[in-house]
Chain A
């Protein structure tokens, strides 16, 4: 099975709290990582990405942390809002058989309680 995975399949937070969604990967040669958000009935939407020469990248209310030592990726959402409720996927750009491909995790469902 896929080794891009998640520590928790679901996460429930209170509105205004910070959310942390985790992802593990197994290929130490992977050099590019992406987080996607998918709302019900819609296609995945790009949130933020990070390359392996960085360990942190910030966007608007979101931060991605990359720990290459333990092959761990996390997405932090500050001041979580009801509109953040969705499934979040990590993706890993993995070299495989002479080519590269994006491998997606199964997703974490984030629920924001008012």
Chain B
């Protein structure tokens, strides 16, 4: 089975801190994604990547950046964390663009 591993299950940060969320997948998938999930708003796409060193903005990229130096790893960066970035962050990967996504367990980030 595909395994998508997110480095932290819970994270508490202070406003203004730089935050790194790490994600690793073990199935040699080309595509990787970062979503945030908020009550009543569902899953919203932040950034995605279809190849190493490639990135594309999703629906809500403001305040975030990403890094994909290796195929298996996709990092989400909050340059200066703000309280409105408190959320559940979900990483996902897929083999091809029209195939199902496999999700990690999520990182619940609280920004105080």
Contact = CB atoms under 8 A, between A and B. Distances in A.
Given A42-B106, A43-B105, A49 B42 contact: no
Q: Which bucket holds chain A's interface residue count?
A: 20 to 34
Nearest to B41: A106
Q: Which bucket holds chain B's interface residue count?
A: 10 to 19
Contact of A93 (B40, B58, B98): B98
A43 B103 contact: yes
A45 B42 contact: no
B102 interface: yes
B100 A46 contact: yes
A43 B100 contact: no
Interface of A: 2, 31-32, 34, 36, 41-46, 49, 89, 91, 93, 99-102, 104-107
Interface of B: 4, 40-43, 45, 58, 90, 92, 97-98, 100-106
Given A36-B103, A43-B103, 16 more contacts: A42-B106, A43-B4, A43-B92, A43-B105, A43-B106, A44-B103, A45-B103, A46-B100, A49-B100, A89-B42, A91-B101, A100-B97, A101-B45, A105-B42, A106-B40, A106-B41
